[in-house]
Amino acid sequence: MDKVVASAAFAVADVPDGASIAVGGFGLSGVPGGLIEALHDRGVTGLGVVSNNCGALGSGLAVLLSAGRIARVTGSYIGANEEFARQYLGGELEVELIPQGTLAERLRAGGAGIPAFYTPAGVGTQVADGGLPWRYDGAGGVSVASPPKEVREFDGTAYVLERGIRTDFALVRAARGDRHGNLVFHRSARNFNPPAAMAGRITIAEVEELVEPGALDPDQVHLPGVFVQRVVALTPEQAADKRIEKRTVRDRKEHV
């Protein structure tokens, strides 16, 4: 089945207001910027986003966040995104912060049909006991706090029950992909893109290089096409647009 669609705008045309969306990327690596821009252009709002972070430097999910299109974020890292912090502390945005490994496993579990699992991460903290501020009231108080979770002991060790995550849509970016939706990710972009793709009921992938079926070595495929419903081929200019959040350089003489 050829899953390639004509444009990013066409690919996200049926995303409604209030949709839940898993978004791949790690920092600014592997972020589906073209699909996010298309979603912004559509004007959808009230979105519930599940992603490791919420963009930075005015790119990635920061585009939707700054426009007030996101109502809730489920993630693990606020980082240097000042607008994210402002909306959260000001009571404009609901935020569920999750340990990074737990977030990855909740996405993967949802995609694998596993409704819940036990993990030791968060036991003895507000992650398990409840009380994490999900929404502030804008005056320094907490209006919505996380509920307590089930804790159970296995072989003398306590574990907290975490739910798998399923979303209406997923947006991801791959280095290479074929017309059947098989995807290959590059280095750190592989961290959250595969589990985010698995979690979406409808998964849309933008690919830097589109190849024909059979061109990808099956042993090198990171995500099989069964998890992908739509593929968008990026232009060379879009594929080359890769930003660095914090550039660090050293004098070449140090290495001589």
* pLDDT attached to residue 209: 97
245 has pLDDT over 80: no
Tokens matching residue 8: 């990013």
56 has pLDDT over 80: yes
Contacts of 193 (CB under 8 A, 6+ apart): 24, 25, 30, 172, 173, 174, 183, 185, 223
State mean pLDDT over 24-32: 92
pLDDT for 192-220, tens place per residue?
Answer: 999 999 999 999 999 999 999 999 999 99
27 has pLDDT over 90: no
239 vs 63, which has greater pLDDT? 63
256 vs 11, which has greater pLDDT? 11
125 has pLDDT over 70: yes
| End-to-end Cα distance, the chain | 53
At 2, the amino acid letter reads D
* pLDDT attached to residue 206: 98
Cβ–Cβ under 8 Å, residues 135 and 143: yes
pLDDT for 61-77, tens place per residue?
Answer: 999 999 999 999 999 99
Q: In the chain, where are the structural domains located?
A: 8-115+164-240, 118-130+142-163
256 has pLDDT over 70: no
Cα separation of 253 and 256, whole Å? 5
Per CATH, the homologous superfamily of domain 8-115+164-240 is: Glutaconate Coenzyme A-transferase (3.40.1080.10)
* pLDDT attached to residue 244: 74
The rounded Cα 194 to chain-centroid distance in angstroms is 10
pLDDT for 137-146, tens place per residue?
Answer: 999 899 999 9
- Mean pLDDT for the chain overall: 94
State mean pLDDT over 17-29: 94
* Predicted confidence band of residue 250 (pLDDT cuts 50, 70, 90): confident
Task: Specify the range with the lowest mean pLDDT, choosing from 10-24, 175-189, 232-246.
Answer: 232-246
117 vs 239, which has greater pLDDT? 117
* pLDDT attached to residue 44: 97
pTM for this entry: 0.93
Cβ–Cβ under 8 Å, residues 111 and 198: yes
State mean pLDDT over 134-153: 96
Cα separation of 70 and 60, whole Å? 13
79 has pLDDT over 90: no
